[in-house]
Structure 1
Amino acid sequence: MAPVESYSVGEADTSAVPAGSSADFWAEHVCRNQGTLQFCFSDAPTFRGSMSIQGDADYLLIDVCSDDIVYTRTRKDIRRDDDAGLRLAVPTTGVLGLRQDDRAVRVRPGQAAVVTKTRPADFRQPRGTRARVLSMPAGALPLDPGSGPAVIDLELGLGPVVAGMVGGLVEQRAALDGQGFAAACDMIVELLGLCLRPTGNAATTLGAIDIAVRDFVRRNAAQPELTPAVIAHSLGWSLRQIQLALHTTGTTPSRLIRTERLARAHRLLRRGSADRTIADIAHASGFRSLSVFGAAFKARYGCTPHEVRTGGR
């Protein structure tokens, strides 16, 4: 993959390797980009597949077509790489099969599905099916625990906008830079959150509270005064309601605020001006204490802010 600032583009094609080794090549390449998975090839010795790849530290988008294959993520795989990210699958030809939480769905063109990597899942791509798969950070979208893949209609409302943006990123991958790719992916995530928003009477459910809180935190995380109590007061719900809503999706108000602030700081470190100090970035992301910021950043990303700034990670 050839780096363009923090953004990389590349390709993988089994036609580039000797016959008989294509399955091993494919498995190694997919695991390098998608984390630990198991593979079931319909015919491993003759397997053929190709993909384009583009991504940065937060997002990875692939456009893939191959012979019949089933990707499986087991509990052992989850323990091995601890990847809690999300995957958005958008078929452009053919029908994908996804299974998670004992719920199986068939996703056709005009639809998309979101799964989490924190629970076992199966992903079947029949021969000739082409799909675009966007990897997103953990917690980017609210998903109901145990409800299986979240299916999104891409033919109504904001759906066609999402589909058009994902397709545009693939088509323009060589002309993009890191800042443009990241900004577009951030917007896709925002639109997906709106697509998943409950409608009608569901506005009083914990799921709706979860979405509203995440939206509010995303917009206001940079404010040092933001606290769980401020969120509750601003949105008109009790702190207990907010805690219950976020508990169903595996987080807490304080953790959500900290995660959003760290993500903002991470983006600023990679994309911001080199003249901007790390202390300034910490304060601009909502942290009052530089030492607290440094410790939280190292715990979240496994490296220091300075290492991210200098490209060490």
Structure 2
Amino acid sequence: MPDAFERYVYGMADFYEVSGVSDHDRRRFFNKTRTTATDGGVIGYGLSVRQTLSRTPATLRRSEVDGLNLSVSRAAMVGDADGRSVRAAPGAVQLRDLSLPAASRLEMVDLTALIAPRALVPACLLGRDAHGAVMAPDAPGARLLTAHLVGLEELAADLTDDEVEASIQALLLLAARMTGFAVRLAPTEVAALQRSVRRQAKAFIETRLAAGEAGIANDEVAKAAGVSRATLYRAFDEEGGVNRYIQDRRLHHARRALRQRSGLTPTIADIAYAYGFASPSHFSRQFRARFGYSPSEVEPLSPPRDVSMSDGPIRHEILVQWLKSLPDAPDVA
């Protein structure tokens, strides 16, 4: 599109002033974005050329966008936050109060960002003290925030508005704690953060098991959730521990495999080993303890001989498969 750059500048005018784009980059200009918007905020991803994004006094006078910009840029940034020099390495977490002047020179726009309305942002994340704050990419708190921010952006389109808004609130509480601006969290806030950790951990566990990878170490789960093992363990305390949860999900996947097998293939022993159990007898004991019957009592799912099945799924089958895909009751506020 020959006027792509001009259209971009016009579209950004009430949000950021765009400058510092070379003639070469203007000729080959591109901008790719995806966003999910709810009443609780907007979360999105952007990819574009090298540029400077500024909120000048003139921008602030005409802009109706106000609140917090929490972002992770995969490119280096240098800039200014209301007179304070700011530098951020690739992968750093950055905070900007959108009511204050700021400028960011990005080597490339490749970032994930949350824009949250002022009324919903913890007060400690707003104002001059937090404006321009940068968390180094290798800091544990930054890793945790990045995991949650990027994970939410990737999943947002598949979540309900209520789920996105709850996740945004958990992310903001996490930012308040990890940046050090909030020294103490209320019990309800701690519970919200732990729900967020569990959501990340459960998604990772389910992905691994669905791929047939039953050997899941706690260190791997903690890394995927962006937390320490101790934090992971605390998040799963009310569910009997993370090891118990993984064991329960392995048993559920094994039961599904028993239902889906053809006749006696694969064997119970094959399924036991595939889902990480030490032996068929160990699997049988654990299975009976969980479900109240033995693996050999699980009948393969097949239609009666006198029923002719046409190609393609049927409505109730689709519903049942969807229900099966739900690992457990969702964490709720």
**TM-score between the two structures when normalised by the length of structure 2:** 0.49
> Quick check: 1:179 aligned with 2:162?
yes
Partner secondary structure for residue 45 of structure 2: strand
Pick from 91, 94, 107 the counterpart of residue 88 of structure 2.
107
Distance 1:135 1:165 in 2: 15
> Quick check: 1:37 aligned with 2:16?
yes
Identity %: 19
What are structure 1's unaligned runs of at least 5 residues?
Answer: 1-17, 199-207, 220-313
What are structure 2's unaligned runs of at least 5 residues?
Answer: 190-333
Distance 1:192 1:62 in 2: 17
Q: CA deviation at 1:172?
A: 1.8
> Quick check: 1:123 aligned with 2:89?
no
Alignment of 1:188-199 (within 5 A): 188-197=171-180
> Quick check: 1:136 aligned with 2:113?
no
Q: CA deviation at 1:75?
A: 0.9
Distance 2:137 2:107 in 1: 21
Query: Could you say which structure has the larger radius of gyration?
Result: 2
Pick from 87, 90, 98 the counterpart of residue 79 of structure 2.
98
Amino acid at match of 1:64: G
Pick from 28, 31, 36 the counterpart of residue 46 of structure 1.
28
Amino acid at match of 1:197: G
Partner secondary structure for residue 158 of structure 1: helix
Identify the residue that residue 6 of structure 2 maps to in structure 1: 24
Q: CA deviation at 1:147?
A: 6.7
**TM-score between the two structures when normalised by the length of structure 1:** 0.52
Count residues in correspondence: 183
Partner secondary structure for residue 52 of structure 2: strand
- Aligned residues of 2:89 and 2:136 also touching (Cα < 8 A): no
Pick from 68, 74, 79 the counterpart of residue 56 of structure 2.
74
Distance 2:114 2:87 in 1: 18
Q: CA deviation at 1:85?
A: 0.9
Identify the residue that residue 135 of structure 2 maps to in structure 1: 152
TM-superposition CA deviations, 1:278-301 (whole Å, max 9, x none): xxxxxxxxxxxxxxxxxxxxxxxx
Q: CA deviation at 1:149?
A: 0.4
Identify the residue that residue 13 of structure 1 maps to in structure 2: none
- Aligned residues of 1:27 and 1:39 also touching (Cα < 8 A): yes
> Quick check: 1:169 aligned with 2:149?
no
TM-superposition CA deviations, 1:122-141 (whole Å, max 9, x none): 122223x4111111122614
Distance 2:129 2:144 in 1: 28
191 and 167 in structure 1: CA distance in 2 versus 1, 3 angstrom threshold: same
- Aligned residues of 1:104 and 1:148 also touching (Cα < 8 A): no
Q: CA deviation at 1:99?
A: 1.4
Alignment root-mean-square deviation, CA = 2.6
Identify the residue that residue 69 of structure 2 maps to in structure 1: 87
**Structure 1 or 2: more strand by fraction:** 1
Q: CA deviation at 1:148?
A: 4.7
Partner secondary structure for residue 172 of structure 1: helix
Partner secondary structure for residue 98 of structure 1: strand
